[in-house]
Structures are given as C-alpha cells and as structure tokens.
Structure 1
Amino acid sequence: NAHFQNVSKRNITAVNLSFHCNEVNKSSDKNPLLVYHGLFGSKFNWRVLSTKLTEATLRKVYTLDVRDHGESPHTGILTYETMAIAEKFTNWSQFRWSCNVSPEKVEKLIVVDIGIKTLSTSPQSSIVNINLVKAMKEAIGSVPSGLSLSESRRKVDEHLKSFVPDEFVRGFLLMNLKKSNEGIAWKYNLSAIERFLRDNSLNDLKLCAPFKGEVLVIHGGMSDYVRTDDYESIREWFPNCKFECIPEGNHYLHIQCQQEFLKRVLLFINST
C-alpha cells in the first residue's frame, strides 16, 4: 500500500489516497489503469481482478481507496466535487465532475454497472440508505469487547441480516471491519456517508461538456442500475459509448461473473 499526493483545486483540501499498484514484470510504455471503487467499496474488492488485468494488458493497475473509505483519510467532506477535483481519479459520477478539467488525460473510460439517472435512497426501495448506515453504527456498538475480528464479524453479520438479507452483500460490507483501540470499527467514515445520503449528494451530478473519448459501460442484466432504456440518456454525455450487458450478472458482476467480465473488458482495453 502507498499513497498518492494530490493537488488542491477550488479551495478543496487534497488528501493522500491509499492505493495498491500491480507492477508490470516487463518493460511497458502503456498507460496505467486506475480502478476507482463505488460507495461502500474499497481497493481490496479489486485485488484479484487487478492482478489479472496487469497480466493480460501489461499495464500497471492502481486500485484506489476513495476518501472516507478504506485506508484513505477520513475527511468528513464526501462529495463528487471533492472526489473528482481534489483526488483527480475517475469513476462514473466523479468523471462527470472532472471531464472539463483534463479529459485529454483519459485514454478510455470503463464504467461498471452504474448509470447517470437519479438513484433512490429510500429504505423502501434501496439498501443504500440512512437506515443502513445507522444499523452499521449500531452493529459495532453491540459487539462485546475482547472478541477476535472473525468473531466480531459474525456478531455484526447477525445484526445486519434484517437490513441486508443478501449474504453476499453483507460479506462485501463486512470486509471493511477492522480492529481498533476501542474494539471493532468500520474502515468507512459512516458519518460522512450518512451526510452524503441525507443531503442527496449521491444524485448531485453537475452537468458538464460531453466527454468524446471512448467509453465502455458494462452492466448486469439482473441489475437495475443500468437498463437498456438508459442508453440514450448516457450517450447524450458520452457520445462515443459502447454498451455490454452480461445477462446473468448483477451489480457485482466484476466479482460474480469475473471471467465473462474480464473477457469483455480486455476486448475494449486492447482495441485500437
């Protein structure tokens, strides 16, 4: 693990992002790949895939922790602007913020199962809501002191079952538990994420000039984040966009459909 030193823009305080770099064994002048996770994710989620990407493309692959996630600093200021301008690394929404800043630095953009439509954060229609954040806070508060990390994970898992019925999604969250001086803690800054959701910053996507570079949107057929009827609105901002749907994939297709995901992504990366 290491940290990127970033520049400050628009009076936003830059932070050192935690990252892991997969090095190339052979000499290569190819541009590196930057992997930027989504909400509640971490660079750890991409550790296996990033190794395979390096081997198949002969490119360095940097997996990053966004601010207030993983091992990056907890700043308490979590917005698309701070993520895109201060950190200057890109996923989908962050890229829309920064595409007016330096689009020439982006060779290609790959978007994994996320669109540009308004996302629901109501407890009735989405697990990504304030009630989940509150439950995550309560869960670590219910863990007795002195337990090992694995025992603590089991306790937290039991507490979260009513909020997150899907065992895979709970496991995804539980990877971000750690031991601390106080006992057990989340690697997330849950207070910052709670404000992000309460203020509806999740949907605060400021419009900018269309990005005319090559874009791949790869999504799961079993996921609601991107549907075929979203293609037209996405092309308004990314006119040179290609779409790939993995029919059996869900939101976590890069993990659960990894072989097919990797095949389609590599075709896009290696195309000229």
Structure 2
Amino acid sequence: MSFLSRVIRRGLQSGRLSCRSFPSQQQRGCGVTLTVRTVCSSSPINLTYDVFDGKGESTPLVFLHGLFGSKSNFHSIAKSLVQRTGRKVLTVDARNHGTSPHSTAMSYEAMAGDLKLLLTQLRIEKCVLIGHSMGGKTAMTTALTQPALVERLVVVDISPAQTTTRTNFRRYIQAMQEMKISSDIPRSTARRMAEDQLRNLVKERSVRQFLLTNLVEQNGHYAWRVNLEAISAHLENIMTFPQFDTVYEGPTLFLGGASSPYISSDDFPEIQRLFPCADIQYIPDASHWIHADKPLDFISSIISFLQS
C-alpha cells in the first residue's frame, strides 16, 4: 500500500481595475436572472461571515471554504469546535461565493486582501487560519504575505502546486451554465430538474449535491448564487498557486484525504520550501471533502494540532 492508504504524520523541518460599485446587477443563470451586488474592482471587498462565539480567550479559528462552497460548509464543524475548545470560530464566504459580493477579479492575492480587510474590521489581530482547497490556497497566500495575522495554519487537502490536471471543474461549470429551470415551481421540483440536467456532465452524486447547494430562489426564479462568469474566466489561475520567495515559519498542518490526489509526495519539496515547520497527515477513507466524509476525525486532527 502507498502512504495514501493510511494515516501519515510526517514532519518537514527545516490587471488592476478602477474602483466602481454597482448596487445590483442582473446575473444570468439557469435561464433566468438573479439580482446580485457586483463589485468591479481590485480593491478588497466586504465578505459575509458567520460567528460562533466561544467563551475562551484563545485565538479565534477562521474557516475558508473551497471552490463552489460557502461558509455553511463548516457550520457543524464550527459548532463542535466551539464546544470542545471554547474558541470563537468564524466561517467566511469568499468573493463570488455564498452571499459575499461578486467581483470580476478573482486572484489569491485579492482573496487574501479580502480576508485581511475582514480581520481588520473585526479587530482580530491574529487567527488560526483553516482553509479547504481554494480556501487553503487563500490561507497559504495570507500566511506567506501577512504572517503576523496567522498564528497557526491548517491547509485542507490542497498543496502549493498546479492542480488543473486533477480536477473536473471546467466540466462542472459547463453543466451549470447550460442548465435551465422553469420559474414558479416548488424548490424540491427545481432541485430534481437541476440534478437531472447536471447528471450528464457530473457523474458523482455527491458532487451534484454539493453544486446544488448554490441553487437559490428569488421571486419564483432559480439561479446560481456563485459568479460562474468570473470563476470560469479565472479557473486556470484558481487551479494554480502564486510564486513566492517568502516562507511562513509558523506551525502548519497539511491535512489530506487518503483517497484524494490533491496532496502527493511530489508536492512535499514545495511544501517544505514554503512552510518549513509543516506536518503532513492523511485521514483514511476520506476524499477531497474530508470535513464531510470524516467530520469526527477532521475535528480531532484540528484539536490535536491546536494542542501541539
């Protein structure tokens, strides 16, 4: 068996745009229109977030979701961590996701800037930053460019490497863009119609269900809340990772799914170069969505890392 079949703990030591805001803009999706707030700017934007208050005084935990995800992906995890650690936990919607504003810009530098603005607004001087997939790359970018903000770093099932060849996201976007749903029908019927249309290009039921968390209803019409146009335009950049000559020397955990290809041994040298104090662990029988597949193991790994 390869190292991906079991838990491994491995210590590795040593185009700018003008700023304009539009109150709302019609975004086309599913054959209908959805009113969203769009920001056409390279400046940081105000992210939406949820707070789960703990009674302890320890550094808060901040969760960043992956592509097509939202802050709700980590709600049950956040509640459990509040109970078990007493820490405050924030879950955050990235730009072009959830209920955060849409933007034509979508780079990791921009998303790290959004996070810095949010932490400043909330007067959080330091946090434990936990990011999954795309959120993991935003977390790494933040740690490498603003290390004073990050007390500890957890990168969930992603590495600072090219991931284009490992994904089917372009196909998912195509399926979502092509979908059309009738207006003024029950939400349950709309979801069934949407899943039927996604099935041709999105074979895995779990992935279809995940994508369908982005289907929203507004005045009887159904559309996607994610900004498919911006995601599609920047997908190649989202799948890569910026080049850095800096390092983050704080405690770091790379937590992979044993059934996922996103953190491989080929990635270890770059992880070691950028994060010299990183540990790498794998959770058995977990896919890319570790927190959904193995929530208890995921929580235990986070708590053990916090106590190390």
Bucket of the pairwise TM-score, normalised by the shorter protein: 0.7 to 0.9
Distance 1:101 1:115, change over 3 A: closer
Counterpart check, 1:87 vs 2:118: no
The answer on whether the counterparts of 2:185 and 2:220 sit within 8 Å (CA) in structure 1 is no
The residue aligned with 1:36 is 64
Q: 2:221 aligns with which of 180, 183, 191?
A: 183
The residue aligned with 1:153 is 191
SS in structure 2 of the partner of residue 13 of structure 1: coil
Cα displacement (A) at 1:150 = 1.7
Q: Which has the higher strand share?
A: 2
Q: How does 1:163-182 map to 2 (within 5 A)?
A: 163-181=201-219
The residue aligned with 1:261 is 298
Q: What is the rounded CA distance, in whole Å, between the counterparts of 1:76 and 1:182 in structure 2?
A: 27
Question: How well do the aligned residues superpose, as a CA RMSD in angstroms?
Answer: 1.8
Query: Match of 2:138, as an amino acid?
Result: Q
Structure 1 gap ranges (5+): 1-10
The answer on whether the counterparts of 1:93 and 1:205 sit within 8 Å (CA) in structure 2 is no
Q: 1:128 aligns with which of 159, 169, 174?
A: 169
Q: How does 1:233-272 map to 2 (within 5 A)?
A: 233-271=270-308
The residue aligned with 2:249 is 212
Query: Match of 2:161, as an amino acid?
Result: K
Distance 1:206 1:85, change over 3 A: farther
SS in structure 2 of the partner of residue 107 of structure 1: strand
Q: What is the rounded CA distance, in whole Å, between the counterparts of 1:225 and 1:237 in structure 2?
A: 17
Query: Match of 1:138, as an amino acid?
Result: E
The residue aligned with 1:107 is 151
For residues 68-126 of structure 1, the C-alpha deviation after alignment (integer angstroms, 9 at most, x for no partner) is: 000000112111111012332764322343335421221110111001121125xxx63
Q: How does 1:187-198 map to 2 (within 5 A)?
A: 187-197=225-235
The answer on whether the counterparts of 1:223 and 1:250 sit within 8 Å (CA) in structure 2 is yes
Cα displacement (A) at 1:253 = 1.1
The residue aligned with 1:143 is 181
Query: Match of 1:63, as an amino acid?
Result: T
Q: 1:13 aligns with which of 43, 50, 64?
A: 43
Cα displacement (A) at 1:132 = 2.2
Q: 1:203 aligns with which of 227, 230, 240?
A: 240
The residue aligned with 2:122 is none
Q: Return the TM-score normalized by structure 2.
A: 0.77
Counterpart check, 1:98 vs 2:152: no
Q: What is the rounded CA distance, in whole Å, between the counterparts of 2:181 and 2:248 in structure 1?
A: 47
SS in structure 1 of the partner of residue 102 of structure 2: coil
Cα displacement (A) at 1:204 = 4.4
Distance 1:243 1:71, change over 3 A: same
The residue aligned with 1:54 is 82
The count of aligned residue pairs is 252
For residues 38-94 of structure 1, the C-alpha deviation after alignment (integer angstroms, 9 at most, x for no partner) is: 111111111111100111111010000000000000112111111012332764322
Query: Match of 2:272, as an amino acid?
Result: R
Distance 1:247 1:228, change over 3 A: farther
The answer on whether the counterparts of 2:143 and 2:149 sit within 8 Å (CA) in structure 1 is no
Distance 1:119 1:42, change over 3 A: same
Q: What is the rounded CA distance, in whole Å, between the counterparts of 2:213 and 2:74 in structure 1?
A: 12
Q: Which has the higher contact order (CA 8 A, sep 6+)?
A: 2
Give aligned-pair identity as a percent. Answer: 33
Cα displacement (A) at 1:246 = 1.1
Q: What is the rounded CA distance, in whole Å, between the counterparts of 2:238 and 2:59 in structure 1?
A: 32
Q: What is the rounded CA distance, in whole Å, between the counterparts of 1:168 and 1:238 in structure 2?
A: 32
SS in structure 1 of the partner of residue 256 of structure 2: strand
For residues 110-167 of structure 1, the C-alpha deviation after alignment (integer angstroms, 9 at most, x for no partner) is: 111001121125xxx63111x321220221xx21111122211111101111211111
Distance 1:229 1:249, change over 3 A: same
